[in-house]
Structure 1
Amino acid sequence: MAENSKKGTGTDNARAIVPDRDLGIPQFTTTDYGAFFLADVVKTRIQVDPALARQSLLSGGRYIVSKEGAGALLTGFGPTAVGYLVQGGAKFAGYEYWKKALVEAVGGQKEAVKYRTAIYLGGASIAEFFADILLTPLEATRIRLVSQRNYASGLVTGFTRLTREEGIRGLYAGFLPILCKQIPYAIGQFTVNELCHEIVFRSMSEETRRSLTSTSKLTISLGSGIIAGFAAAILSQPADTLLSQINKGHGPEGSMAYRLRVLAQQAGFRGLFAGLGPRMVMTAGLVSGQFLLYGIIRDALGAPHGIEIHKETSK
C-alpha cells in the first residue's frame, strides 16, 4: 500500500502541518515538560493520599512541599522518563504499523475510508497493548516511589527492590488496570486527534489547505492535540486512579478483576475522578506536544508520512 507523502495521517498531521521550527519548538520548552511532570506527581499523590483528596493541583503541590520539601516533587522522575519514552516510542510506531496493516486488511486506502474509525480504534488499542508490556514494570516502580516516600533512591534501586521482593507478579500486578487506563488513553489520543483534523480539513477547500500559513498549521495541530489530550485524560481517569491504588497495595486479596471492582465501589464516581483537573492540564500539553515533536523529528529523519484515510467531504 502506497503511503501518502503529501497529506500525512492524523498522527502525521503534526508532521504534515509542521510549523516552522522557530515558531513551533519554543511552545514546548523543558520548563513546560517539567510542569507536566510535576502535575503528574501531584495528580498521583491526590489519588493515593486521603489528605490530598480534595486538593487542587496548586494547593496539592503546596501541601506536598510544606510537608516533605520541594524534592518530593521530583520523586519518580526516572521511571516516568524511561517508561514513557519506551512506551511512547512503541505506541507511535505501533499505531502507524497496525493502522497500515488494518488498511490493507480491508482492501486498501480507498476502501478503508468507510472503516476509518474502527481502524483508528483498533490500531491504537493493539499498539497500546504491546507498548504496555514494556511500560508496566516501570510504572509500578514510579507509583511506589511517589506513594512511599522512602521506598528507594531512584529507578534502578526501586526496580531492583520491587523485583527482589515481589518478582514478576509485583512488576505486573498493575498490567490489567494499566491496560484499562492506557487503551482508552490511546483511543482518545489517536482517534480524537484524527477526527479533529478531519473536521477541520473537511471545512476547507484543497487550495486553502495547501496555502495554510505556519501559524494556521500550528493552531490546527495544537488545537487538535489539546482536544485529544482532554479526551484521553477523561477516558482513562478511572483506571488511572485504580492503578495508583493497586500499586500502593490497596484493596482486598483476590483476583485483579475482583480487586478493581471493590476499589471502584469504595472510591465511587467522585473518587474515581479525583485528580482529573491536574491530569487534564498535563495530558493536553503532553499529547499536543507529542504530536508536534513527533512530526518534527520524523521530518528531520526523512521518514515517510503514514497513510491518511480521512473523509474529504461531508457527503
Structure 2
Amino acid sequence: MPTKLEAPQGFDLYSRFALAGALGCSVTHGAFTPVDVVKTRIQLDPATYNRGMIADFRQVIQNEGVRALATGFGPTFAGYFMQGAFKFGGYEFFKKQSIDILGLEKARQHRSAVYSVSAGCAEFFASVALCPLEATRIRLVSNPSFATGLFDGFEKILKSEGVGAFYSGFGPILLKQVPYTITKFVAFEKISEAIYGQLDKSSMSNGAQTVVNLGSGLLAGFAAAIVSQPADTMLSKINKTKDLPGESTVSRLMKIASELGIRGSFAGLPTRLFMVGGLTAGQFAIYGDIKKALGASNGVEIAK
C-alpha cells in the first residue's frame, strides 16, 4: 500500500508559506506597476495629474510614452517578492507562536489580537527587506531620467548617498505598512470566517474557495488602502528627493504632513483603492492556491 506523505513541519512548512506569499505579492504588485506609476505621479504632482485615473493614464502615455507605465517594475517585483515571503511566512509563524503561548482555545477567544500582533510583527521584518527596493522604485518613478533600471538606480543611490538613503523612508514605510498589513489580515480573516461560517468549507471545491479568497481579499484591500493612504503619500514624498544637511527624518515627516494637510494626504485614493483592492484579492487567491499545491494545507488555523 502507498504510504501517506507526512505533512511538512517546521522550517519546511514555513518556507512553503514564504514561497507562496512571495509569489502572490510579487506577481500582483508587478502586474499593477502601471497603476502604481500613475498613483505615485498623482501623489507627487497633483497639480498636473488631477483629472481622474483614466485621464491621468492617458496623460502619462502622451507625455512619456507607454514604456513609462513599466517604470520601477524591477524593484517592485524584487522588493515585493522578499516582502511577501516575510509577510505571509512571518504571519503564519507568529500566529503559531501565539497559539503555542496562549493555547488554542485562548487564542481562539482573542483571535483578533492574535491576528493583529502576528501581522504587525511579520510586517516589521518584511518592511526591513522591502525598504531599499521601495526607495529605488519611487526614485525611478518620480525621476525617470535618474537611472535605467533596478540595478543602475540601486547602485547610484548607494554610491552617492550611502546605505542610509535606502532607509530614509523606513519610518513612513512602517507607518504605512504596519497598519495596512494588520487591517489587511484581520479584515481578511474576519470576512472569510463569516463566509465560511455560513458554508461547509470541507465540501467546497478548490475553485469555490479561491472565489471566497478573492472576495474577502478585495474587501480587506479596500479597508487597508484607506487606513494606510496618508502614510503612503508621505512615503512617496520623502523618497522623491534627498534630505537636507542636518535634517532628520522626523522633521521631514512633520514638514511634509503640514504641507499636505488632510486633503493632500488622501491624494490618489481612488486609484489606490483600485490598485490595493485588486492586488490584495489576487494575493490571497494566489497564496491559498499555491499553499495547497505545495502541500501546506490552509495554514495555521485558529477559527473553528
TM superposition score category, shorter chain reference: 0.7 to 0.9
After TM superposition, list the pairs within 5 Å mapping 1:231-246 onto structure 2.
231-246=223-238
Alignment partner, residue 222 of structure 2: 230
Aligned length: 281
The equivalent of 1:256 in structure 2 is 249
Aligned twin of 1:162: 157
Distance in structure 2 (CA, Å) of the matches to 1:250 and 1:238: 20
Aligned residue among 290, 299, 306 for 2:299: 306
Higher relative contact order (CA 8 A, sep 6+): 1
1:37 aligns with 2:2: no
Q: What residue in structure 2 maps to residue 184 of structure 1? A: 179
Change (3 A) 1:92 1:214: closer
> Does 2:51 match 1:58?
no
Letter in 2 for 1:239: A
| Structure 1 stretches lacking a partner, 5+ long | 4-11, 16-29
Q: Which residue is 2:138 aligned to?
A: 143
| Equivalent position amino acid for 2:152 in 1 | T
Map of 1:88-237 to 2, 5 A cutoff? 88-106=84-102, 108-204=103-199, 208-213=200-205, 216-237=208-229
Deviation track 1:279-308 (CA, whole Å, cap 9, x = no partner) reads: 111111111111111122121122243222
Distance 1:44 1:64, change over 3 A: same
Match of residue 274 from structure 1? 267
Query: Shift in Å at residue 149 of structure 1?
Result: 1.7
Structure 1 counterpart of 2:284, one-letter code: F
- Aligned residue number for residue 72 of structure 1: 68
Aligned AA for 1:87? Q
Distance between the aligned counterparts of 1:56 and 1:288, measured in 2? 23
Could you list the runs of 5+ residues in structure 2 that have no partner in the other structure? Answer: 1-6, 8-16, 21-26
* Structure 1 residue 73: Cα displacement: 0.9
Q: What is the CA deviation profile of residues 193-215 of structure 1, one whole-angstrom value per residue up to 9, with x for unaligned ones?
A: 001012222334xxx44333555
With over 3 angstroms needed to count, the CA separation of the structure-2 counterparts of 1:299 and 1:217, relative to structure 1, is closer
Deviation at 1:160, TM superposition (A): 0.1
- Tell me the residue number matched to 1:288: 281
Q: Given that residues 251 and 262 in structure 1 are in contact (C-alpha distance below 8 angstroms), is that contact kept between their aligned partners in structure 2?
A: no
- Kept in 2, the 8 Å contact 1:109–1:307? The answer is no
**AA of the residue aligned to 1:272:** S
> For 1:191 and 1:294, how far apart are their aligned partners in 2?
16
* Closer/same/farther in 2, CA of residues 267 and 251 from structure 1, 3 Å limit: farther
Secondary structure at the aligned position of 1:308 is classed as coil
Letter in 1 for 2:83: Q
Judge conservation of contact 1:144–1:151 (CA < 8 Å) in 2. yes
1:35-93 CA-partner distances (Å, limit 9, x unpaired): 62211110011111133352321111111111111111111111001001111111110
- Contact 2:83 2:127 (C-alpha < 8 Å) held by counterparts: yes
